[in-house]
Chains A and B, each alone.
Chain A
Amino acid sequence: MELGPLALSLEIATLATVIAAIVGIGLATLLSNVRFRGRDLVDVVVTAPIVLPPTVLGYYLLVAVGRRSAIGHAFEALFGSSIVFTRTGAVLAATVGALPLVVKSGRAALEGVDATLMRAARTLGASPSRAFFTVQLPLAGRGIVAALMLAFARSLGDFGITLMVAGDIPGETQTASLAIYDAIQEHREGAALGMVLALTATAIAILYTVNKLTAGTHDAR
């Protein structure tokens, strides 16, 4: 079994989950707690990666952060390497795929917390942010952990966006899902099977845990 691509997948998925967690929980909080103009638009844009083809997302990312774009240019000037066709690009691709899961499930978890509890916190002298961090976030905790686990599983399995943005460079951007494709093309069925089983086992373990976590949320009234 080839461990290189699997290790790379884990590394990229972990980084992508951390970024998706920070950005995604922030967006979920904004969407659930703050009424602002254009909220529905933000919701649609953030959710779009669930339904858009990976090639379309990859195209947008290439336009946004490619070497000739402003962001790509600035990044290269700062760090000396480009975003696209590097490990950074692979992390970005996995993050974009995972973000909607964090925002959607995170928002549902936050909105599932009884609003009266936050009102009670406010009358007890808590600022909006204290009410959020001491009441809403802990009570939404299981749901948010579940959302992050789904995000991790999604990151681990990304194929299309990664291929478009980061390519298929062994040792650099060739994650397990890309390596499986290559192995099949090259008739290395054994190598493919090992990675297939490893990814499947991880995904099933994660889904099982998520089900356990979300089934228990009703206990926390």
Chain B
Amino acid sequence: MPGDGAATLHVQARVSREPDGFTLDVDFEAAPGVTVLFGPSGSGKSTTLAAIAGLVRPASGRIALGQEAWFDRSARVDVPVHRRHVAFVFQSLALFPHMSAIANVVYGMDPALDRRTREERARAVLDRLRAGHLADRRPATFSGGEAQRVALARALATSPRVILLDEPFSALDRELRVELIADLRDLVRELEVPVLFVTHHRAEARALGQRVVMLDKGRVERVGSVEDLVAPGGRDMTFDETPLDPDGMLPR
């Protein structure tokens, strides 16, 4: 539950993907704060997030938040997805098309709260992400940036213990990205939980991340601070080099 926010996420997992024979074999930790999962497409970033959320079952390994094991092959522990309290923002956002924005946000909130409390909180989170005006509209009418804000609101409103962001900004243009990253940065700082942010966009990694775990071909290649690993012009950097914020719009 929230409150034990200081717990570190330990990930050690081996996942074999059936159809293409891809094998993920990773071992790293993510302390509270933003850890960037960085690497070319096909390096296993999304599979890593899926294993942490419990959406794919590793063949072996151990995934734990602090002392609490979510998956432990040898101890036969496998906490189901819905009891892990992870906030997952999918690349496709996956907003429920048959529900209004507010219903999307309420969906993930603690059912023990009464309906009015849930709606009030959902509205507050939407407002916080500057999406309050969308509350009663359905996702089909949203622009890319609007859908993005609602998806973030839905994930963050659940009082998550871990936040997993799978390239959530990939479909947005630069200005929107800058705006959203600034909003997101403030929010995740307040939550004080481990945040894993998948990107192959170096400027995004620099703007949001504190630490970087670099993946390549299913393995952790390097771990370090953002400055070390994603410095412009650094070696091995074959990813998206477009500057995120050339005009210095991003608040420091």
Give the nearest-CB partner of A119 in chain B.
B55
The residues of A with any CB-CB pair to B shorter than 8 Å are 114, 116-117, 119-127, 130, 134-135, 138-139, 219-221
**Given the complex, which residues of B lie within 8 Å of A126, measured CB to CB?**
82, 107
Inside 8 A of A220's CB, which chain B residues have their CB? 97-98
The reply to whether the CB of B53 lies closer than 8 angstroms to some CB of chain A is yes
Q: Are A123 and B88 in contact (CB under 8 A)?
A: yes
Q: A123-B84, A138-B98 given; name 12 further pairs at CB < 8 Å.
A: A117-B96, A121-B96, A123-B53, A123-B82, A125-B108, A126-B82, A126-B107, A135-B96, A139-B98, A219-B140, A220-B98, A221-B97
CB closest chain-A residue, reference B53: A123
Known: A125-B158, A126-B82. A116 touches B97 (CB 8 A): no
- Which B residues are CB-close (under 8 A) to A221? 97, 140
Residues from chain B with Cβ under 8 Å of A114 in the complex: 92, 94
Determine whether the beta carbon of A123 is less than 8 Å from that of B81.
yes
Could you list 21 A-B pairs, sorted by A, with CB under 8 Å? A114-B92, A119-B55, A119-B90, A121-B107, A122-B55, A122-B80, A122-B81, A122-B82, A123-B82, A123-B84, A123-B87, A123-B108, A125-B83, A125-B158, A127-B80, A127-B82, A134-B107, A135-B96, A219-B140, A220-B98, A221-B97
Complex contact A117–B85 (CB within 8 A): no
Are B154 and A124 in touch, CB under 8 angstroms?
Answer: yes
Closest residue on chain B to residue A117 by CB atoms: B94
Tell me if A's interface is mostly helix, strand, loop or mixed.
helix
For the complex of A and B, 10 pairs with smallest distance between CB atoms: A124-B108, A120-B94, A123-B88, A122-B81, A116-B94, A125-B82, A117-B94, A221-B97, A122-B82, A138-B98
Chain B window 213-248, contacts with chain A (Cβ cutoff 8 Å), 1 for yes, 0 for no: 000000000000000000000000000000000000
Q: Could you list which residues of chain B lie within 8 angstroms of chain A, going by C-beta atoms?
A: 53-55, 80-88, 90, 92, 94, 96-98, 107-108, 110-111, 140, 154-155, 158
CA distance A121 to B95 in the complex (A): 9
Q: Name A135's closest neighbour in chain B (CB-CB).
A: B96
Given contacts A220-B98, A221-B97, contact A124 B107 (CB under 8 A): yes
Residues of A contacting B90 in the complex (Cβ-Cβ under 8 angstroms): 116, 119-120
Q: Is the CB of B98 within 8 A of A124?
A: no
Q: Which residues of B contact A119 (CB under 8 A)?
A: 55, 81, 88, 90, 94
CA distance in complex: A76, B147 (Å): 60
CB-nearest residue of chain A relative to B103? Answer: A134
Are A125 and B85 within 8 A (Cβ)? yes
Residue of A nearest to B106 (CB): A124
Residues of A within 8 A of B87 (CB): 123
Cα–Cα, bound, A134→B55 (Å): 19
Q: How far is the CB of A218 from chain B (nearest CB, A)?
A: 12
Most buried by A among B92, B94, B96, B155: B94
Chain B positions within 8 Å of A125 at CB level:
82-83, 85, 108, 110-111, 158
By a CB distance below 8 angstroms, the chain A residues around B96 are 117, 120-121, 135
